Structure 1
Amino acid sequence: MQDIVSVILVLQLILTANSINIFKITDFGATRTKDISEALKKAWQNATESPTKSQILIPRGDWNLSQALLSGPNKAPMNLEVQGHLKAHPDPAKIRDKKKGWIGITNVDYLTISGGGILDGQGQEAWKNNDCKTNATCEKPPINLVLNAITNSIIQSITTKDSKFFHANCIWSRNVTFQNLTVSAPGDSPNTDGIHMARSSNITVIDSVIKTGDDCISMGDNLTDVVIKNVTCGPGHGISIGSLGKYQKEKDVKGIRVEGCIFNNTTNGIRVKTFRSSPVNTRVSDLHFIDLTMVNAANPIIFDQNYCPNKQCPSGLPGSVKISGVEINNVTGTSATQDVITFNCSSQACQNITIGTINLEYKGKKGSSATTFCRNIMPKFIKFTKQIPPVCHFNSVFLSVSQIYDQFMDNFM
C-alpha cells in the first residue's frame, strides 16, 4: 500500500510539473475594439497566484494597450506569450505613469516573454516633442518594456518597435537573457536605445537585431558579468558603456564581453564614455571586445574620458573613472571616420589595455588612410598579431618619459 501511495505521489509530481495553466486575455473581457489593460492585468494576477506553471496568452491580431503595470511575486514559472501586435496610444500624455513605462514588469522570478509578437510604442508623435537632448529637466517619454527586479528570466522572439523612449531596460535584475530580440526604430528617432541595463548581474543578449536611433545597447553603473554575442547593430550609436562618472554614488562595472557582433553604418562601434570632471572613483574593468565586424561604422572603437554633453561639466579638470583590464582582438572591416581607434584617456586612467588583430580600413576621403588617436595610453599587444593601422605606436600624447618606458618594457617582458 505504501508503495502504491509513493507511486501516486510521484505521478502527481510529474503531472504537476508538466501541467500549465493558460490565462487567455479574451477570457477576461479583452476585445479588439477596446483597451486591454484591465483584461491583461486580471490574467496576470491569476498567473502570479497559480501554484503551477502558467501562461498569459495575447492571441494574434491587433490590440490596443494604454499601459500595463504588472508585478509579482509569482508562485511558479510564468510565460507572457505575446502573439499579437500590441499598440500604445500615440500621445505620450495618455500614459499615466511614464516613469514606470508602457509595459512595466517588476519583482518576478522565472518569467519568459515570447510569442513572436510586436510591442509597438507608436513613438512618432513623442519624437517630435522630445527636447531631452537640450533640456536637462525634460519629462522623459515612457519606455516600451521596463524590467525591474526580475530574475532567472528570458525575453525571446519578440519585436519592440518605435518606442517613445528606450525600447527596453533591465534594472536591479539577475540572470536575464534577451534572445532573438528584434528592435526597430528609424535612425533619427531620439533616445530610442535598444536595451539599457544597469545595477544588474549575469545579463546576456544574443542572436538579436537592433536598429534604432540611439545606442543599440547601453550599460550603466553597478553592472557585472554581461555577455553580448551575435548582435547586429545599425542604424544606431553602437554598444556603449556609460556615460559614467556623473553621479556621486555610482558603482563599478566589471566583466563585459562583446563578441561576434556586426556594426552596420553606426555612428560608433564600441564606446566607453566617462565624464570629464567626474566626482567619483568608479572602476570599469575586465572588458573583452572580440571578433567584431565594422561595416562603414564611424568610430569603430572609442574610449572617451572627456565626455561632456551640453557643456555640463567644468573645463580643465580630469575625469577620475578608472578603466583597466581591456582586451580588444580581431576587429575588422571598414570605418566612416579616419581615426578608427580612439583612446582619449585621462592621465593614469586607462591601464592594462591589450590589443590583438586589428584590420580596419578608412572608406572616407580618397587618398587618406586609417589612423589611431591615443592620449595617455600605451597598450600591450598580443604576440603574433598585426594591427592595421598601427595602434598607438609612440603617439600617446601627454605620457611622461617614465610611463612610456614602463609600458614599452611591458610589451617585451
Structure 2
Amino acid sequence: MRYGSESAKHNRTPRCLCACSSCAHLMLSSSYDYKMARHTCSACDAHRVMSLFLHRRSDMAFPLVALFFMISARWCLEVAHAGRQVFDVMDFGAIADGETDDSKAFIRAWMKACASPGRPAVVVPKGEYRLQPVVFRGPCKGYMQVRLAGDLRAPDDLAAFRGSHEWINFASIDGLLVTGGGTFDGRGASSWHLNQCPTNPNCKPLPVSIKLGRVRNVTITGVTSLDSKFFHVIIIGSQNVSIHRVTIRAPRDSPNTDGVHIQGSSNVRITDTAIATGDDCISVGPGSADITVSGVNCGPGHGISVGSLGRHPGEEDVRGLRVSNCTLAGTANGVRIKTWRGGLRPGSVVSGLVFEDIVMRKVRNPIIIDQEYCPYSSSSCRHESAQRPSVVKISDVKFKNIRGVSATQVAVKLSCSGASPCHGLELRDIDLTYVKRGVATESRCENVAGGMAGGMLVPPSCI
C-alpha cells in the first residue's frame, strides 16, 4: 500500500480502516486523526474501497472513525453485492434429491442472475438434480458464472425432449464461465439402443447433452460430461470458446457420442482434456476457423477428425486447425480428415491444418485422409457413387513428429479425391511401428498432387 507524504512527514506507520463486506476485513484504532484516500484492498478481492488513514494525534478522531465506518461499510456492501451476486438454486426451490424435477428452480436462478450486472454466479451445491431440457438464454447484463458442484441428470425418457434437440442449451451469451467440479450426466444408456444413425442416413439424431449456440467469450473448465445420448458438447455459431480440463466419458460401443463437435465457430480452444467415447473425441465441422487442440488424451473413440465434410451443399470452409501434444490410445483412427463422396460444386476448402507432437498407442489408421468416406453399408453408399468423387479441396496440411504404435499395417493413408487432388501435404519426422513385431508399416497415397516429406519417415513416405 502506498502512503501519502503526511505519513512520511510524521515518520509513523499509518493505519488503515478498510470496510468491505465481501471479506469483512477491518483494521481499526481509536486514537488517530484521518485523511481520505482510495486504494486497492487485496483482502477484498481487488474491489476499489474507501479507506481511512489515521495518524496518532488525539482521541477526538474516534467519533469520526465510527461514523466513517458505518457509511463506508454500507457503501462497500452495495458495491460488493452488485459485483459478486450469488444465486443458489436451493434458494429458488431446488430439492436435489435426484428424483424431483428441479428445472424451474434453475431457470429462475438463471433469469435473476442474468438480469444482474457484474459477475453474478448461479451456484449449484453438491447433490443430484434432475433437469428437463433447459435453455439458459442471454443476453445477460453481466459476465455469467455457473458454479456446478452437484450432478445434473438428464431425463431417461426421450419423450421429455419433444421439440428439443439438446438437454442443456447455453444460447446468445457474451461472457460465461462454467466450473465447479460437477457432472452433466446425459443418461445415454437408456437411449443408445434407439439410435438409428449408424445404419440409417435419414435418421433422427438423439439429443445433444450440452449446446453452446451463438455464444462468445465462454470457458468451461473442471467439469465432467458423462454418457451423452448423442454428442456430448456441440459448439455452433460461436467465437472465443475454451474447453479446459474437462472430462468426457462414454463407453466404447456407445453410438455417436462425439466428445466435442465444432461447427460454424472460430477461436475455439480445447486443452488438457480427457475424452473417452464411442465416436470422434473431437470433430471439426464446416465453417470452423482458428481451432486449437492441445494436451488432449483421446481413447477409446474414433480419434480427432476434421469432418465429415461435403455431404451437404453450401458448406463453409475449414481453415486454421492446430492439434498438438495429444495422446491417442486404442482409437479407430488417429488424426483424420474425412469427406463424403459426391457433392455439388463448388466444394468447400480445407486448408491450414497442422498435426504435430502426437503419440499413438495401438491406434488404427494413425494418419488418414479419407475422401471416400461413407460409414454405412455398401448398399447404402451406392448413391455416393465412385463416379461422383468428393469435391472438397484439401491443401496445406502438415503432419509433424507423430510417433508410436499402429494397430494397422498401413499407418499412413492419404486417399484424396480424383476430382480434387490434395496439394501441399507434408510428412515430417513420422515414426509409426506396427503392433506385430517384425512387420513393417506402410504408407499409401492416392491422388496426392503435391507435397513434401523429410526427417525420420517410418513408414517411408508415399508422397
Task: State the AA in 1 paired with 2:244.
Answer: Q
Please name the residue that 1:171 is paired with.
236
**Residue 289 of structure 2 aligns with which residue?**
224
Unaligned runs of 5+ in 1: 394-413
Q: Residues of 1 paired with 2:385 and 2:118: CA distance?
A: 57
Query: Could you say what secondary structure the match of 1:288 adopts?
Result: strand
Residue 303 in structure 1 maps to residue 369 in structure 2: yes
Which residue number in structure 1 is paired with residue 414 of structure 2?
343
**Could you say which residue in structure 1 is the equivalent of 2:339?**
274
Kindly indicate whether residue 440 of structure 2 is the aligned counterpart of residue 376 of structure 1: no
Is 1:181–2:181 an aligned residue pair? no
Residues 395 and 425 in structure 2, CA contact (< 8 A), matched pair in contact too: yes
Is the deviation greater in 36-45 or in 12-21? Answer: 12-21
Partner of 2:435: 363
Could you tell me the percent identity over the aligned residues?
38
Deviations 1:170-215 (A, max 9, x none): 0000000000010010000000000001000000000000000000
Assess if the C-alpha contact under 8 Å between 2:83 and 2:117 holds in 1: no
In 1: Cα distance, 2:248 partner to 2:223 partner: 9
TM-score by length of 1: 0.89
Counterpart amino acid of 1:153? V
Give me the CA root mean square deviation: 2.2
TM-score (norm 2): 0.80
Q: Is the 8 A contact 1:17 1:52 kept in 2?
A: no
Segment of structure 1 superposing worse, 272-281 or 229-238 = 272-281
Listed as ranges, the matches of 1:65-144 within 5 Å are 65-99=131-165, 101-144=166-209
Q: What secondary structure is seen at the aligned counterpart in 1 of 2:208?
A: coil
Spell out the pairing of 1:24-103 with structure 2 (5 A cutoff): 24-33=88-97, 34-99=100-165, 101-103=166-168
Distance 1:242 1:355 in 2: 21
1:201 aligns with 2:272: no
Q: Check whether the contact 1:263–1:297 (CA below 8 A) recurs between aligned residues.
A: yes
**1:391 alignment partner in structure 2:** 461
CA distance in 1, matches of 2:181, 2:450: 44
Q: Which runs of 4+ in 1 moved over 6 A?
A: 3-10
CA separation in 1, counterparts of 2:128 and 2:444? Answer: 51
Give the letter for the 1:22 counterpart: V
Q: Is the radius of gyration larger for structure 1 or structure 2?
A: 2
8 Å CA contact 1:98–1:140 kept in 2: the answer is: no
Q: Deviations over 1:326-349 (max 9, x none)?
A: 111100000101110100011342
User: 2:24 maps to which residue?
Assistant: none
Tell me, in whole angstroms, the C-alpha distance in 2 between the residues paired with 1:349 and 1:16. Answer: 61
Matches within 5 A, 1:253-264: 253-264=318-329
Distance 2:193 2:389 in 1: 36
What corresponds to 2:69 in structure 1?
none
For these two proteins, the number of residue pairs brought into alignment is 388
Q: CA deviation at 1:52?
A: 1.7
Contact 2:169-2:212 within 8 A present in 1 as well: yes
Once residues 431 and 250 of structure 2 are traced to their aligned partners in structure 1, the CA distance between those partners, rounded to angstroms, is: 30
Could you tell me how far apart the structure 2 residues matched to 1:379 and 1:354 are?
A: 9
Answer whether contact 2:317 2:349 (CA < 8 A) is retained. yes
Structure 2: tracts of 5 or more residues without a match: 1-34, 41-46, 51-74
